[in-house]
Amino acid sequence: MNWDRIQGNWKQVKGQVQQQWGKLTDDDLQVVAGHRDQMAGKIQERYGIAKDVAEKQLKAWQDGATEAWFVVASEPAPVSVKPAAV
């Protein structure tokens, strides 16, 4: 998946990020705002891992991105009800 697509849809993707890296806080993700280099830095910082390891994890996560991540759940269509006959 192209990182520009991930960054452009950051609000929808944040849940996927938190599933993968649960130690990242909402504040971390707000600061990162979809910037890949900052994301790698936060992963490195929170997990105490080397930069190359964080980059590999991020690359694997990015490669696993699917279109389903960008689908916004919509509310069901309203059901029309016919008035009862009097």
pLDDT of 74 strictly over 90: no
How far apart (Å, rounded) are the C-alpha atoms in residues 62 and 1? Answer: 6
pTM for this model (two decimals): 0.76
pLDDT at 70: 77
Read off the pLDDT band of 71 (50, 70, 90): confident
Phi then psi for residue 3, to 5 deg, are: -65, -30
Helices (H) and strands (E) in the chain, counts: 5, 0
Read off the pLDDT band of 75 (50, 70, 90): very low
> Residue 81: how many CB atoms within 10 A of its CB?
6
Q: Which of 56, 34, 27, 60 is CA-nearest to residue 44?
A: 56
